[in-house]
Amino acid sequence: MIQIEGVRKVFPGRAGNPPTVALEEMHTQIEDGQFITVVGPSGCGKTTLLNIIAGFEAPTVGTVLVDGQPVTGAGADRAVVFQQASLYPWLNVRDNVAFGLTLKHGRRSVDQGRVDEMLEIMGLAQFSRHAPYELSGGMQQRVAIARALVVQPKILLMDEPFGALDAQTRGDMQSFLLQLWRRLRPTVLFITHDVEEAILLGDRVLVMTPRPGRLAEEVVVTLDRPREYAMVLTDAFTLHKRQILRVLRPDQAELHTG
Ligand SMILES: Nc1ncnc2c1ncn2[C@@H]1O[C@H](COP(=O)(O)OP(=O)(O)O)[C@@H](O)[C@H]1O
Ligand SMILES: [Mg+2]
């Protein structure tokens, strides 16, 4: 379980600039195995929140607890996937995926069966000897996700992982990710600025206000699983979208009726 308790983040201003309040008093709790999505306008502190949970940044005030223990730094229980796949260009696909296991167990003791399984699930088996630059953007991101999950982290933190992909590829990636999540059941915190993506993937959507980011609303998604894209046409989906857009687009009067 992840507990976010009164987390606030202020970046000091450099060279006489005023400080930036990136996150304002955030409280929430995420149960094991849940798929949580976070939406909010650019600059509202989404990445800052993820960095704090990952242990890359310390909160100015408040604490994040993972299984009751305060986060004080990065750890093998939490894996991170960013918008850019940032693969190791000198390693082929297989060695990129195996990287975390190689670090942990040494080159000779890597569980090759587990690497094969990840390559298989992510549709990468035929590309294991390819170099990263030979792959499309979507495939590179699949390698990055496989690399993150091969070490079986309890928590997967994803910062707009499909933000740079075209709509078709993004849809494919969403179903790959959901399949993988059903199989391995990590707790997922998935940041996006795409409201539809947040609803389609999440058990719960955390909606943030413009900077300084606060948690404005938590929407429990009532769509069945497994999810499929056609669910965007259901009444439940529209209802959730309206709930979220009311927060993100307060200027749109039509959202506030009906
Ligand atoms: N290391 C940093 N130093 C100073 N300001 C930062 C730093 N990181 C983020 N910020 C500021 O904090 C705010 C929130 O940033 P960020 O968490 O990246 O937002 P988001 O991911 O929602 O777009 C922004 O105004 C950003 O400029
Ligand atoms: Mg960001």
Q: At what angle do helices 93-105 and 137-149 cross, to 10 degrees?
A: 20
Domain that holds residue 62: 1-24+52-75
Q: Would you state the pLDDT for residue 254?
A: 83
Q: Is residue 82 part of a domain?
A: no
Q: SS3 helix, strand, coil % of the chain, rounded to 5? A: 40, 25, 35
The gap from C-alpha 95 to its chain's centroid, in whole angstroms, comes to: 23
Q: Please tell me what DSSP assigns to residue 12.
A: P
Looking at the domain assignment, is residue 2 inside a domain?
A: yes
**21, 39, 42, 48: residue to mutate for ligand 1 pocket, most atoms within 8 A of CB:** 48
Give the pLDDT score at 258. 59
In a domain, 12, yes or no: yes
At 162 the three-state DSSP class reads: coil
In a domain, 3, yes or no: yes
Q: Which residue, judged by its Cα, is nearest atom 25 of ligand 1? A: 43
Tell me, yes or no, whether 11 lies in a domain. Answer: yes
Query: pLDDT in tens for each of the 258 residues of the chain?
Result: 999 999 999 999 888 899 999 999 999 999 999 999 999 999 999 999 999 999 999 999 999 999 999 999 999 999 999 999 889 999 999 999 999 889 888 888 888 999 999 999 899 999 999 999 999 999 999 999 999 999 999 999 999 999 999 999 999 999 999 999 999 999 999 999 999 999 999 999 999 998 888 999 999 999 999 999 999 999 999 999 999 999 999 888 788 775
Contact between 23 and 50 (Cβ < 8 Å): no
Count of domains forming the chain? 1
pTM: 0.95
Q: Is residue 229 part of a domain?
A: no
Task: Write out the two tokens for 130.
Answer: 């390819």
Secondary structure class of 19 (helix, strand, coil): coil
Ligand 1, atom 1: closest residue by C-alpha: 11
Structural domain includes residue 35 = no
Q: Which ligand does the CA of 49 lie closest to? A: 1
What CA–CA distance (Å, rounded) separates 225 from 238?
17
pLDDT recorded at residue 211: 83
pLDDT in tens, 153-208: 999 999 999 999 999 999 999 999 999 999 999 999 999 999 999 999 999 999 99
Alpha carbon of 243 to ligand 1 centroid (Å) = 26
Question: What is the spatial distance between Cα 104 and Cα 152, in angstroms, rounded to a whole number?
Answer: 12
* Ligand approaching nearest to the C-alpha of 51: 1
CA distances from 48 to 10, 43, 210 (A): 10, 9, 13
Please report whether residue 88 resides in a domain. no
pLDDT value, residue 12: 93
